[in-house]
Amino acid sequence: MYSYFIRRFLLMIPTFIGITFLCFTVTRFVPGGPVEQAVLRYQQAMSQTSEGGGGSSSTNSTQGQISEEMMQRLKEIYGFDKPFYVAYIQWLWRVLHLDLGVSDTHSRPVWELIKEKFPVSIIFGLTGFLLSYMICIPLGVWKAVKHGSTFDTASSVMVFIGYSIPGWTAGVMLLMLLGGNAYFDLVPLGGKESAMIHANSKLAAYLQEGGAVKDLPLTIRKDFARLKDEDMINSSHPAFEHIPAEKRVKLTTGKHDDLTWFGRFLDTAWHMALPVFCYILGLFASHTVLMKNSLMENLGQDYVRTAFAKGLSENVVIFKHALRNSLIPIATGLGHMLSIILAGSYLIEKVFNINGFGLLGYESLIARDYPVTLGILVIGSMLKLFGNIASDFLYCLIDPRIRFS
């Protein structure tokens, strides 16, 4: 078994090179790249300048042109001055040294952007992943046991409706129905936390104790130069202990950080409700059907009939013998699921304005920010490759009959 996994790890190297080389080559030849966009921005700026200052049409046409020296300089800046295979080798060498480059849009290292966005997608994706499995496995087992019943038929209708609706489409419809006060005002319109909590909000009851900055002693104010007189600080702020006790009040308005730990939990859960539901919509539908069909197939095997013939109870036969073998198909897709939950969903994060890994990838694709796009490709492909190995390892844990020799 160890030799098998060693071979799988070694096979990751050419697979990773093939994936990244193909995508890197596409970014070199697809139209509308960063060089073309820089030229377009220059031409637009020059046209606006000529419109504001007047001038003849011949002058405007020459101003819109870009010199060969400037074009070559732009290609050097964006790394398009070398053959694509040479540029790929240089890029791959930097990746091996954990250097993903600098974002063309944000002018920041790609690693910093990814580290900022990654935790957000992990929280949303991992929550949806765990909830989908907590729903689909019991529901699939119950549907298999109650096959042909009213419950099985009704739940199958709901499952296939959920499977036929993309998660981001369901998100748009639910936002229109439940948010924005068009029909109801039950959920926020997006984000992962409240930017402002008003006095009439139910979360206002969980605001911390606070005080005005103007009540701080002048000696303390010097250590917190960014605070203004009209600002309010909560009890978690390091300067709060210097506010006189008689000046401390219960905050009536504030932000997410002004809430107690339980209030912050409720605020985050409130914002996560719809996005997580959209995450698990397609996952739990497909896995429920897979779980049911797999369990029903195992219940028809000879070893199950033998177990019943020995006088074992139905619960023992199902949960001790048949269920374990039925989980093998569920583990098959773990490698794919691992990359999804960590990379996030591009469209779901876009719909709910969640500033996570998926939204970063979506915006980088739209803006032709190739360093960020390729950086996300590196992370996503590595997660997928390691996830596939994790799926094989789970085979061994679930079914001891499987050996990789």
Nearest CA to 98 among 82, 114, 87? 114
Tally Cβ neighbours within 10 Å of residue 403. Answer: 10
User: How many CA atoms are closer than 13 Å to the CA of 346, on its beta-carbon side?
Assistant: 9
Amino acid at site 277: F
Cβ burial of 400 (10 Å; 0-12, 13-18, 19+) is exposed
Nearest to 37 by CA among 77, 2, 8: 77
Low-confidence ranges of the chain (pLDDT < 50): 56-62
Taking only the tens place, the pLDDT of each residue in 153-211 is 898 888 888 888 888 888 888 888 887 666 777 888 878 888 888 888 888 888 888 88
In the chain, % of residues over pLDDT 90: 2
Q: What is the pLDDT of residue 172?
A: 86
pTM for the structure as a whole: 0.74
The per-residue pLDDT for 61 is 47
**What pLDDT is attached to residue 332?**
67
239 touches 216 (CB < 8 A): yes
Q: Is 137 helix (H, G, I), strand (E, B) or coil?
A: helix
User: Which residues share a beta bridge with 386?
Assistant: none
pLDDT of residue 59: 46
Please, what are the domains in the chain? 2-96 (no CATH), 110-185+273-398 (1.10.3720.10), 208-251 (no CATH)
From the CB of residue 27, how many other CB atoms can be counted at a distance below 10 Å? Answer: 19
